[in-house]
Amino acid sequence: MPLTLRQRNRLDAIHRIMDTAMDLFDERGYSDVTIEEIAAASGVSPRTFYRYFGTKEGLFTADPLAAVGLGSYSGQIDPGDLPGTLERLIARIGEGPGVSEGGRRTSWRGMRYVMEEPSVRAAVYGALDEEAERLTALLRDAGESPARARVIARSYLFGAYFGALEQWHLDGRSRPLGDYVRDGLAALADQTAGGRGQA
């Protein structure tokens, strides 16, 4: 479904705020930049910033498309196809704001702050924890036992997804993020099957 003009304008504003914030963080450091400075440099009011993100850490956990009424990431979860779900979510993230690095458009420009800033990392872990709880409930509704549902949800979100993000960043983003997610999914499949992945 195409975006309305209002949705497009809001999404543009969200992306502008996120990109402006990352520019300021890169120039001055995460802790030295205030929400008021981000808002001013983005051409919006602090109130608008708070409406979209809530906190500075919210820049790293917000779902821009959900903020403009286009559905959340959670709505795309298919408990019967978790590998496919993760690949779709990574593709959706790739459609979000980004900058050219090495000639390619990339998202998660702020991954270094997730790695280096304890408050950002805690916020991301908190958001993942909420998603894991939602996924656990979906898996239980699909017939998994409580223990299996919880382990599966956390293995996929904290292991295959967040582990892939971490390694992608540590490797200097030398390959597409989707490749790392597929590697993580293959590792989970190998362990589930009792096999060993190749180095």
Show me where the domains of the chain are located: 5-67, 73-192
3-state secondary structure the chain: CCCCHHHHHHHHHHHHHHHHHHHHHHHHCHHHCCHHHHHHHHCCCHHHHHHHHCCCHHHHCCCHHHHCCCCCHHHHCCCCCHHHHHHHHHHHHHCCCCEEECCEEECCCCHHHHHHCHHHHHHHHHHHHHHHHHHHHHHHHCCCCHHHHHHHHHHHHHHHHHHHHHHHHHCCCCCCHHHHHHHHHHHHHHHHCCCCCCC
Distance from C-alpha of 82 to C-alpha of 147, rounded to nearest angstrom: 17
How is residue 84 written in tokens? Answer: 């496919």
pLDDT at position 56: 96
User: Is CATH 2.40.128 what the domain over 73-192 is classified as, yes or no?
Assistant: no
C-alpha distance from residue 188 to each of 65, 147, 149, 161 (Å): 29, 17, 15, 11
Out of 78-87, 139-148, 173-182, least confident range = 78-87
Any bridge partners for residue 8, and if so which? Answer: none
Highest mean pLDDT (candidates 10-19, 88-97, 188-197)? 10-19
- The architecture that CATH gives domain 5-67 is Orthogonal Bundle (1.10)
Q: Band the pLDDT of 106: cuts 50, 70, 90.
A: very low
Q: Which has more pLDDT, 120 or 180?
A: 120
pTM: 0.78
Q: How does pLDDT run across 107-159, given as a tens digit for each residue?
A: 567 888 999 999 999 999 999 999 899 889 989 998 999 999 999 999 988 98
For 89-98, the pLDDT digits (tens) are 776 655 444 4
At residue 96, the pLDDT reads 44
Report how far apart, in Å, the C-alpha atoms of 34 and of each of 28, 113, 116, 180 are.
11, 15, 18, 33
